[in-house]
Amino acid sequence: MELRIGICHRPAPGTLSPAWIAIVLLASAFAPTHAFAHSEQGAAIDFWGGFTHPIFGPDHVIAMVAVGLWGAFLGPPAIWLLPVVFPLVMAVAGALGVLGLPLRGVETGIALSAIMLGAMVAGAVKPPLWVAALLVGAFAVFHGYAHGVELPVGADAIAFSMGFVIATGTLHLCGIAFGALSHWRAGRIAVRLAGVVIAVIGVGFLTGFA
Amino acid sequence: MKERLGVAAVLALLLTKPALAHSPIMGIGGVAGGILHALLIPEHGMSLLALGLALGQLEKPERRTGILIFVAVLTGALVAAAFAVGEAMAADVLLATTGILGLLIVTLWTPTYLVWAFAAIVGLTIGLDSRPEVDSNEEVIRMLVGSGLGAAISLAIVAEVSFLLRSNALRIVARVMGSWITAIAILVLSLRIVTQMTVG
């Protein structure tokens, strides 16, 4: 099947290749916006609501990416251990937040996590594995608690949680993918620079400039 | 290629879309509706994935025995569900069991007897939690048969496919999935507890 349009000249003048049609169809599949049928205060509490929850928090995003970056920088087994530790501890802390148990200094802890993790990447720090896991786990407490407090009670809990956890894991994977550049000399510099940027943004969050 | 297919199949199961809790799927009833019911309830899909990943760590005879235990207990539980027995706590027990299974996968600590015990618990709770909300008794039975078939077939597929995840690189994928499964179970259980406390 070929669609004739006026501006396309491959594979033949005036035709659209099957590959392009497939791309357009795929793009269309991602295009529809989600209905907010189950919503609380305007936020969807379904899979999509859970998926976007961590992504729309820049302070969370940079820390999650930093975990992946550091894991990739440290190499195996840290490359998978850190992204495994983070969601587990985050979920436990999230449960504490959902249950309404008090925790002080959450925002400070989140900002510090960006500063510390960014600094670790920037400085190419390679502590023992257990120290790295402990550090990441400790910071996951603050992120998890902050998310837990904000989680909407009721509605589609499992779909929301699935989206939430998968988004967190995806951010780690983004960090790991970028961190994989550290196998090359120039990439190593780029990764360390990313660590500097993350730490600086963390300072911005801590001081209120960001 | 087989490994890629395996990962794709497991991811597809992980990303099952949520269905409305225990309501028949619009326009699809009977055995087919039951099969879809088993696949589209996220709690069931996630627990089957977790159990399949755990069974996939066992050797062939132990893995097949685990699947048989699951099917046997599931069948009994579906019969009980037909009489509307024991539905109250099934979903919460299933979630807690799934969370623990996720931890076993993270640590890759899967003693045979323990995995078999979990196969029995998952079979029991999925069966008891599978009763559809329809009026006709014949329709209930048809859908329960479908639910049983769907659950048994999906578990067998995931267990056999996840056996392929035993290479070093793909075991990492299994560990990451295990951590996600446990994290989801913890969050959902806490949300349910608070919802029950709030709603009463």
pLDDT digits (tens, 9 = 90+) for B144-179: 999 999 999 999 999 999 887 677 778 888 899 999
Contacts of B182 in chain A (CB under 8 A): 88, 91
Contacts of A94 in chain B (CB under 8 A): 186-187, 190
| B-contacting residues in A 86-145 (Cβ below 8 Å) | 87-88, 90-92, 94-95, 98-100
Question: What pLDDT, on a 0 to 100 scale, did the predictor assign at position A132?
Answer: 95
What percent of chain A is modeled with pLDDT above 90? 43
- Return d(Cα B145, Cα A160) in angstroms, integer: 29
Is the confidence at residue B73, as pLDDT, over 90?
yes
Distances (CA, A) of B109 to B55, B57, B67, B178: 11, 9, 18, 12
3-state secondary structure of B72: helix
Q: Pick the residue from chain A with its C-alpha nearest to B100.
A: A88
Residue A6 pLDDT class (50, 70, 90 cuts)? very low
Note whether B87 and B21 are within 8 A (CB): no
Question: What pLDDT, on a 0 to 100 scale, did the predictor assign at position A141?
Answer: 95
- Return d(Cα B93, Cα A210) in angstroms, integer: 44
A88:B176 CB<8 A = no
Note whether B56 and B165 are within 8 A (CB): yes
Distances (CA, A) of A30 to A25, A27, A39, B13, B124: 9, 5, 21, 19, 38
- Return d(Cα B73, Cα A115) in angstroms, integer: 52
Residue-wise DSSP of A63-128: HHHHHHHHHHHH-TTHHHHHHHHHHHHHHHHHHHHHHT---S-HHHHHHHHHHHHHHHHHTT----
Report the candidate in B132, B138, B128 with the shortest Cα–Cα distance to residue B36.
B132
Q: Greater confidence, A190 or B90?
A: A190
B17:A47 CB<8 A = yes
For chain A, what is the mean pLDDT? 80
3-state secondary structure of B102: helix
What is the pTM (predicted TM-score) of this model?
Answer: 0.79
A-B contacts at Cβ under 8 angstroms: 88
A158:B184 CB<8 A = yes
β-sheet bridge partners, residue A39: A44
Distances (CA, A) of B173 to A103, A181, B106, B178: 33, 21, 10, 9
A158:B42 CB<8 A = yes
Pairing of β A3-4 and β A15-16: antiparallel
Note whether B15 and B4 are within 8 A (CB): no
Average pLDDT over residues A162-167: 88
Q: Greater confidence, B28 or A89?
A: A89
Per-residue pLDDT tens digits for A114-152: 999 999 999 999 999 999 999 999 999 999 999 888 877
A157:B198 CB<8 A = no
Question: What pLDDT, on a 0 to 100 scale, did the predictor assign at position B4?
Answer: 62
B194:A98 CB<8 A = yes
Question: What pLDDT, on a 0 to 100 scale, did the predictor assign at position A154?
Answer: 61
Q: Greater confidence, A33 or A210?
A: A210
Question: What pLDDT, on a 0 to 100 scale, did the predictor assign at position A22?
Answer: 53
Question: What pLDDT, on a 0 to 100 scale, did the predictor assign at position A114?
Answer: 94
Residue B12 pLDDT class (50, 70, 90 cuts)? low
Question: What pLDDT, on a 0 to 100 scale, did the predictor assign at position A40?
Answer: 44
Question: What pLDDT, on a 0 to 100 scale, did the predictor assign at position A7?
Answer: 41
CA B38, B40, B42, B48 dihedral sign is positive
β-sheet bridge partners, residue A16: A3
Per-residue pLDDT tens digits for B46-69: 999 999 999 999 999 999 999 999
Question: What pLDDT, on a 0 to 100 scale, did the predictor assign at position B118?
Answer: 97
The single residue listed with the structure tokens 């436990």 is: A92
For chain B, what is the mean pLDDT? 84
Question: What pLDDT, on a 0 to 100 scale, did the predictor assign at position A13?
Answer: 47
Residue type, B46: M
Q: Greater confidence, B9 or A34?
A: B9
Report the candidate in A173, A151, A149 with the shortest Cα–Cα distance to residue A45.
A151
B189:A95 CB<8 A = yes
Q: Which of B184, B189, B193, B195 to mutate to test the interface with A (most CBs of A within 10 A)?
A: B184
Note whether A168 and A86 are within 8 A (CB): yes
Residues of B with CB under 8 A from a CB of A: 14-15, 17-18, 42-43, 46, 106, 172, 175-176, 178-180, 182-184, 186-195, 198-199
| Range name among A24-28, A60-64, B87-91, B195-199 with the lowest pLDDT average | A24-28
Note whether B147 and B78 are within 8 A (CB): yes
Note whether A200 and A118 are within 8 A (CB): yes
Question: What pLDDT, on a 0 to 100 scale, did the predictor assign at position A119?
Answer: 95
Q: Pick the residue from chain B with its C-alpha nearest to A148.
A: B187
B176:A157 CB<8 A = no
- Return d(Cα B64, Cα B67) in angstroms, integer: 5
Is the confidence at residue A11, as pLDDT, over 70?
no
3-state secondary structure of B99: helix
Burial class (CB in 10 A: 0-12, 13-18, 19+), A32: exposed
Count of all residues that appear for chain A in the document: 210
| Range name among B1-15, B31-45, B92-106 with the lowest pLDDT average | B1-15
Q: Pick the residue from chain B with its C-alpha nearest to A78.
A: B172
